[in-house]
Structure 1
Amino acid sequence: MNLYTLLESRFPQDRPAICLEVPGGRDSTWDELAQGSARIAGWLASLGLPQGARVAAPVEKSPEGLMLYLATLRAGLVFLPLNTAYRDSELAYFFGNATPSVVVCPSKNLSWIAPLAEAVGARTETLDDDSTGSLLEVCADFPGTFATVELPDTVLASLLYTSGTTGRSKGAMLTHGNLASNALALHDCWGWRSDDVLLHMLPIFHIHGLFVAANGALLAGAKMIWLPKFDTKVAIQHLPHATILMGVPTFYTRLLSEPSFTREVCQRVRVFISGSAPLLTETFTAFQERTGHTILERYGMSEAGILTSNPYLATDGPRCGGTVGRPLPGVSVRIQGEPGMIEVKGPGVFAGYWGMPEKTKEEFTDDGYFRTGDLGHFGGEAIPDDYVSIVGRGKDLIISGGFNVYPKEIESFLDTLDGVEESAVVGVPHPDFGEVGVAVLVAKPGAVLDPVQLLATLKTQLANFKIPKRIVVVDELPRNAMGKVQKNLLREQYKDALL
């Protein structure tokens, strides 16, 4: 089944009701969402593109941006969302790798994106976040109805490039079945309802904002408050009208830093969900104390959607800090070692990497499990045995003098020390041990950190082989668009620090 067919089957009967509540009075109804996507789908179909042709969309977040995604599904084509922050060389790589047939971009970027698109034979149109652009002009005369192209579940729906925290991004091939199965599983696990209101402040070029948040609301027939980005004061303004907030950990730390973020603001919210990066236990606890709400942390990735989740219902088990919960129904998770590599199998796991059959084969086991690259373990102190906890990325593992050092363990300790806001530990070359750790810290506002004293404290608490050989204090850690710390940049920056 085409994913759009499934989503539309759950739209509310009251089609003139608001689907997207947008600042500035540019709200969109369910009718307008269906009709707008139909017009764009009609135009795409008129181009005579083969099934599976890619539609690249480095566009700003807007109602029409969501319509473009839905239209691409309806026309049986492949949606390729891209971050508008990407520059020439980055887009040249994505276009060269994915060879899209259509590129839609903001008008302000047309002068430099059009030549990149032309180089791969793609047609370029514009779409701006104020509901203008050549795309809407060429689609204006197409009817507001369209016979959605029906497809098997195995047909490709989206090409989603990995976040690229290490090396070149790879295109994860996600099928209609992958996306539909994940949306349906989360609908049940998180108790989605038609009267929900999702406060949507995530970008839609990423799996979190588009396939988890937007697909979830569409499948539930639930309204979204559609904001261009996260802003603490704007979020607090809208929270009293929302029932669900999905965010990255940075959302929650920034909300906690605002005195006006109170229990009263959150009274209507039934669940706060966090993902895309690890949530500090300190943040988990502080949020609980401030609001009375327990954040629901989950675990997912571009290649497989959401894999595990803390329970929504108290009757299904506790929500625990420092863990991402148990596997979703239909998902099998196994861990090779304690801690060890997390391997997964399930209907949401992708079809492979675009144009990389050897890499795809390398990342799957002989019995069909995908090697996530993440290290973790089951259970723990006061944590049920079937809950998964993430300790870091496989590439983050530091082998120092023959001993395995897991950065997450050291970071978890550093983050509890007075004056430490957050930390990142990376491995760098060392002439004697082969590799050792460097800890990069950010201080809390007003705090002064003494690296020598911090190292002395660590030596009283951790085995000597785990102690970083150097501590560096910086103003902020480098992050990608979804808030993940870019440890590859830190490794590069400090690679000669101890040689």
Structure 2
Amino acid sequence: MTTPLRTPPPSVEVDHRADGSILLRSPLPLPRVRQSLPHIFDETADAHPDRLFMRQRTAPGGPWRDISYRDARRAANGLAQWLIDQGLQPGACVAYLSAPSIEHGIVAVATQRAGIAIAPVSVAYSLLSTDHAKLRACIVKPGAKIVFVDDATMFGPAMRALADLDVKFVAVKGAAEGIEAVPFAEVIATEPGPEVARRMAAITPDMTARIMHTSGSTGSPKATPQPQSNMTLTVAQIEAIGLLDFGGEGPQHLEAMPFSHIMAGNFNFANVIRAGGTIHIDDGKPTPELFPRTIANLREVSPHFFITVPLGYVMLCDAMEADDALRDSFFRNMRYIGFGGAVLPEAVKDRLLALSRAALGHELPIFSFYGATEYLFGTLKYWTGGRTDVIGLPLPGTDLKMQPVDGRYELRVKGPTLMPRSGYLGAPEASADLFDDEGYYRTGDAVHFADPDKPEEGLVFGGRIADDFKLTSGTFVSVNALRNDLIDAAAPLLREVVLCGLNEAHVGALVWPSDPGLPDLRERVTGAIATFNAGQSGSSRRIKTAIIETQPLSFDAGELTDKGNISPRVIRSRRSDAVADLFADAPTRDVLAF
């Protein structure tokens, strides 16, 4: 059984300025910041050459295959030399189209050894899209010269959609009709020369290491360059608050999120390497079809930390509450769990704490992570207890500014993890207003103190400023807070809620039930919303009309991003008829009225 995790108490330095803005900085000291992620990798490979770097199943339910840090470094050096032999200079870019894999991990390390950036691309743009327009944008904007795929047969249509872009393909296996691809095995077999070491020695903190793409929910994905310091500083920050203390063990990590997202591709990847741990690729996802694979993997892999979206924890709680053996396997080595992307409902937090008490004899720490593609993490709630809507305080080395905007505070971020001031690649219009005059990145997110008299209790996420609206009365509706409170109060009945009411007399809601086949669904939803309304005061906190949506949220239409988050603006636009019915005198569909 693991010993309880020890993290420092929350602390923050606050500076109230004359213009009404508030500056926040952490007083915690930073440990040594390494030169680059490849240098961190080599430290681990030197200290623990035989430890497993990555593992993945050969097929769903099949045996595991793996690679050690020693063998992964040899493969990465060979691949780095091959890239150099192709004429790629420092600052060039390669793309990876496939899901997390051992080969994907090797390429992520190898490119940076040669001073070249890797641009992981959401699998959805290759396998779910029909026109491949977003995929092409993800190759053209960063100027990728080499494109890697794990299975050329599976990704054949995507490869053919890129064939006219003068890129070279590398494939781990398979073949795409009409497309020539260099075998991955041939690439990593290249004999590394002295230029690889020279390229590594020349890496600087501001050199682009990764190019990550925003979700693309409002148009073409934006290519976001991330410097080496994005990862090296984050590793030092996590060391500073004790989250890399695994008692001398190499942490085991089960990774279900894609490397095209910052949590998996930057945070988890770099921190597991620094701690000398093993990344086990999870072929499951928090969906009814694929979650059984995650459960099967958790019976064999007992992680030392676990981070997922709140929906994933709902499904995990359901499974663990019905299976003590699964519960005990999940918590056996666990030091902490975390969530991001949305607020964790209090009811789900309580279930997780009860499960950890049953398995460990004490409550496991639950942390919240807040960040973005443009800067990785701005805040982290690294202490236990308190509300789940608290997103924490600045990590050491990251400066925050709370800027007054229309009666609220917009959170702004500044520090070495931030994208360059030049902005997104190939998108000057989208980059024009990213930073304020002091160089702080404008997040567009509203925040406030959990307790203004005790700033050390952290910041509360108040939603996207652009998503909030006013009623015709002039009453302001804080959309994120109302949405989260309704879902939490109705738990587990409602999976998603989209609030409407801009320039209307009241708040309406489109709601998606967790179980559309639930008996007496209409009566249950009506009762839940009525009960919620009874505890509220004011028109901005009451739902007056609601429609139970039967059509699932659509990825292809942009209602869901590739990260699984909703896009309320797209939903309201695409379902404008339903929105209109919420406020119509003679609606065309079944509207619940309160």
The normalised TM-score by structure 2 is 0.76
Which residue of 389, 401, 408 maps to 2:480? Answer: 408
Query: Is 1:217 aligned with 2:266?
Result: no
Aligned mates of 1:2, 1:413 — CA distance in 2? 42
Q: 1:119 to 1:157 in 2, by over 3 A?
A: same
Indicate whether 1:71 and 2:110 are aligned. Answer: yes
Residue 412 (structure 2) pairs with residue 368 (structure 1): no
Q: 1:144 to 1:49 in 2, by over 3 A?
A: closer
Taking the aligned partners of 1:276 and 1:73, their CA distance within structure 2 comes to: 28
Is 222-231 or 80-89 further displaced after alignment?
222-231
Cα distance change on mapping 1:390 and 1:167 into 2, 3 Å: farther
Deviation string 1:286-342 (CA, Å, 9 cap, x unpaired) is 211222323211111111112211225x6xxx4642212111111122323464321
Report Cα offsets for 1:76-125 as digits up to 9, x if no partner.
11111011221322212222322311111231245323343333221122
Matches within 5 A, 1:21-40: 21-23=55-57, 24-40=63-79
Q: Does 1:118 align with 2:163?
A: yes
The answer to whether 1:484 aligns with 2:553 is: no
Within the candidate set 231, 234, 237, 2:299 is matched to 237
Q: CA deviation at 1:63?
A: 0.5
| Residue pairs, 1:30-69, within 5 angstroms | 30-69=69-108
**Structure 2 CA distance for partners of 1:454 and 1:277, relative to 1, 3 Å:** closer
Aligned mates of 1:442, 1:280 — CA distance in 2: 16
How much has 1:227 moved relative to structure 2? 2.4
Aligned partner of 1:63: which letter? I
| Cα distance in 1 between the residues matched to 2:419 and 2:278 | 28
SS in 2 for 1:167: coil
Whether the 8 Å CA contact 1:202–1:229 is kept in 2: the answer is no
**Judging changes above 3 Å, is the alpha-carbon distance between structure 1 residues 135 and 468 closer, same or farther for their aligned structure 2 residues?**
farther
Of 389-398 and 133-142, more deviation after overlay is shown by 133-142
Aligned-partner Cα distance in 2 for 1:493–1:382: 43
Give 1:127 shift: 2.8
Q: Indicate whether 1:205 and 2:257 are aligned.
A: no
Aligned residue number for residue 461 of structure 2: 390
Number of the residue aligned with 1:188: 240
Q: 1:110 to 1:227 in 2, by over 3 A?
A: closer
Contact preservation (8 Å) 1:299, 1:307: yes
2:367 aligned residue (279, 292, 296): 296
Would you say the 8 A contact 1:161–1:302 is kept in 2? Answer: yes
Query: Counterpart in 1 of 2:32?
Result: none
Stretch moving more, 16-25 or 174-183: 16-25
Residue pair 1:429, 1:498 contacting (<8 A) in 2 also: no
Partner SS state of residue 45, structure 2: coil
2:349 and 2:86 map into 1 onto residues whose CA distance is 50
Shift of 1:384: 5.6
For 1:3 and 1:469, the matched residues in 2 are separated by 53
- C-alpha distance 135-389 of structure 1, shift in aligned 2 (>3 A): farther
Q: Does 1:18 align with 2:52?
A: yes
Judge conservation of contact 1:443–1:449 (CA < 8 Å) in 2: no
Structure 1 residues 116 and 192, CA, compared in 2 at 3 Å: closer, same or farther? Answer: farther
Give the Cα separation in 2 of the matches to 1:418 and 1:118: 48
Q: AA paired with 1:493? A: R
Q: Distance in 2 between matches of 1:225 and 1:376?
A: 35
Question: For the Cα contact (< 8 Å) 1:414–1:423, is it kept in 2?
Answer: no
What corresponds to 2:23 in structure 1? Answer: none
Q: Separation in 2 of the partners of 1:382 and 1:282?
A: 27
Q: CA deviation at 1:407?
A: 1.4
Letter in structure 1 aligned against 2:458: Y
3-state DSSP of counterpart to 2:316: helix
Q: How does 1:278-427 map to 2 (within 5 A)?
A: 278-292=343-357, 293-311=364-382, 318=385, 320-337=387-404, 339-351=408-420, 352-380=423-451, 385-401=456-472, 402-415=474-487, 416-417=489-490, 420-427=493-500
Q: Is the Cα contact below 8 Å between 1:250 and 1:483 reproduced in 2?
A: no
1:203–1:229 Cα contact (<8 Å) kept: no
- 1:334-357 Cα offsets, whole Å, 9 max, x none, are 323464321111221111211234
Q: Distance in 1 between matches of 2:155 and 2:531?
A: 54
Paired AA for residue 238 in structure 1: E
Q: Residue in 2 aligned with 1:264?
A: 328
Q: Greater RCO between the two (CA within 8 Å, min separation 6)? A: 2
Pair 393,100 (structure 1): closer, same or farther in 2 beyond 3 Å = same
- Superposed CA RMSD in Å reads 2.9
- Conservation of the 8 A alpha-carbon contact between 1:428 and 1:496: no
Residue 227 of structure 1 pairs with residue 282 of structure 2: yes
Instruction: Say which SS state the counterpart of residue 366 (structure 1) adopts.
Output: coil
1:96-135 matches, cutoff 5 A: 96-105=140-149, 106-128=151-173, 134-135=182-183
Q: Secondary structure at the match of 1:252?
A: helix
Higher gyration radius (CA)? 2
Residue of structure 2 aligned with 1:472, choices 547, 551, 563: 547
CA distance in 1, matches of 2:311, 2:296: 15
CA distance in 2 between partners of 1:336 and 1:495 (Å): 33
- Local SS of the residue matching 1:408: helix
Q: Which amino acid aligns with 2:340?
A: G
Task: Give the distance between the partners of 1:456 and 1:327, measured in 2 at CA.
Answer: 39
* Matched letter for residue 497 of structure 2: A
Equivalent residue, structure 2, for 1:3: 37
- Alpha carbons of structure 1 residues 138 and 481: separation in structure 2 relative to 1, 3 Å: same
Q: Distance in 1 between matches of 2:303 and 2:37?
A: 26
1:383 Cα deviation from its structure 2 partner = 8.1
Residue 389 of structure 1, CA deviation: 1.4
Alpha-carbon distance between aligned partners in 1 of 2:86 and 2:112, rounded to the nearest angstrom: 15
Cα 1:128–1:213 shift into 2, 3 Å:
farther
- Checking the alignment, whether the CA contact within 8 Å between 1:311 and 1:319 is kept in structure 2 is no
- DSSP 3-state at the match of 2:328: coil
SS of aligned partner of 1:365:
coil
Say which of 233, 240, 248 aligns to 2:309: 248
- Per the alignment, do residues 427 and 108 of structure 1 end up closer, same or farther by CA in structure 2, a change over 3 Å counting? farther
CA contact (8 A) 1:410 1:425 kept: no
Give the Cα separation in 1 of the matches to 2:537 and 2:219. 31
Provide structure 2 residue ranges, at least 5 long, that are not aligned to the other structure: 1-34, 58-62, 175-180, 286-292, 358-363, 555-559, 581-594
What SS does the aligned partner of 1:27 have?
Answer: strand
- Once residues 171 and 544 of structure 2 are traced to their aligned partners in structure 1, the CA distance between those partners, rounded to angstroms, is 51
Distance 1:411 1:477, change over 3 A: farther
What's the offset of the Cα at 1:67? 0.4
Task: Sort the Cα spacing of 1:8 and 1:474 in 2 relative to 1 into closer, same or farther, 3 A.
Answer: farther
CA distance, structure 1, for counterparts of residue 50 and residue 403 of structure 2: 52
- The question of whether the paired residues in 2 share the 8 Å contact of 1:127 and 1:136 is answered with yes
Structure 1 Cα separation of the partners of residues 454 and 74 of structure 2: 48
